[in-house]
Amino acid sequence: MIEVKTDQISWSRATMEAVCRSRFGETRIFLYPAAKRCLDIICAAVLLACLSPLMAVIALAIWLDSPGPIVFRQTRVGKWGKEFTMLKFRSMFAEADKTTHAAFAKEYINGHATPGSSDEKGEPVFKPNGDKRITRVGKWLRRTSLDELPQLLNVLRGEMSLVGPRPAVPYEVSEYCKWHLQRLAVLPGLTGLAQISGRSGLTFEKIVRLDLEYIRHRSLFLDVAILIKTVPVVLRARCAA
């Protein structure tokens, strides 16, 4: 359980559930949760099998590029505030300073951040400018989103879904306003409505509003549509960082 403090008030997990469920009850489509879980398991298993040669190449590239673990493990906040260990291919130097991102996250969530850079098409990107913690291979992995592939294991374990709000780090959730907590009403996802609508080029408020729009209208059809639209977005590397 995590404690979230907003406006000098302590929000427990029970409060999170009350906030989320007051707005977003379980979907009215009776078979949707089971169908979504089946889609997650089948797609994640197939993708892991098909992409295993690519993942092996990525692992070798990371190992040759810089010392440190190949897979990066980080505590993230999932449904109803439950913490889990999220997996990613390591894109930063080992022992990289974590305070840089924590400071940026505080400014970004509170609406005080300005675009630190732009993508290849000139679109603004809300990421720390010139982050020297990222390795050479890491820059390529982040631009192509291939660093996220190990999260298919999180999907198989039921900690994440293919589609949903991106999982936050605990120190990010500590900066949430009360209405931001509503994005914790569903499992976090590999991709989502925000990821196909601008990715790192969106303000945090816009991301949350898109996440809540997804939660309100979630369905198997919408999940499949988002998955299909994710492919060209990733290939174009639009607003990636």
Q: pLDDT tens per residue, the chain (241 residues)?
A: 444 444 433 445 565 655 555 555 554 567 899 999 999 999 999 999 999 999 999 999 999 999 999 999 999 999 999 999 999 999 999 887 778 788 888 888 888 766 655 555 545 566 665 678 899 999 999 989 999 999 999 999 999 999 999 999 999 999 999 999 999 999 999 999 999 987 777 889 999 999 999 999 999 999 999 999 999 988 876 555 5
Tokens of 82: 């439950």
104 occurs within a structural domain: yes
Q: Say what the pLDDT of residue 52 is.
A: 97
Please state, in angstroms and rounded to a whole number, the distance separating the CA atoms of residues 114 and 137. 26
User: Within a domain: residue 152?
Assistant: yes
Task: Identify the bridge partners of residue 125 per DSSP, sorted by sequence position.
Answer: 117
Residue 16 lies in a domain: yes
- Domain membership flag for residue 199: yes
Instruction: Report pLDDT for 150.
Output: 98
Residue-level pLDDT at 10: 46
Q: How many domains does the chain have?
A: 1
Give the pair of three-digit tokens for residue 216. 């309100």
Q: What is the largest CA-CA distance in the chain?
A: 50
Q: What is the pTM of this model?
A: 0.83
**Owning domain of residue 80:** 4-234
Q: Give the pLDDT score at 215.
A: 95
d(CA 91, CA 153): 18
Among candidates 235, 234, 215, which has minimal Cα distance to 223?
Answer: 215
Q: Is residue 239 part of a domain?
A: no
Answer yes or no: is 241 within a domain. no
Structure confidence at residue 99 (pLDDT)? 82
Q: What SS3 class is residue 106?
A: helix
pLDDT of residue 166: 96
Contact between 48 and 65 under an 8 Å Cβ cutoff? The reply is no
Any domain includes 240: no
pLDDT score for 129: 58
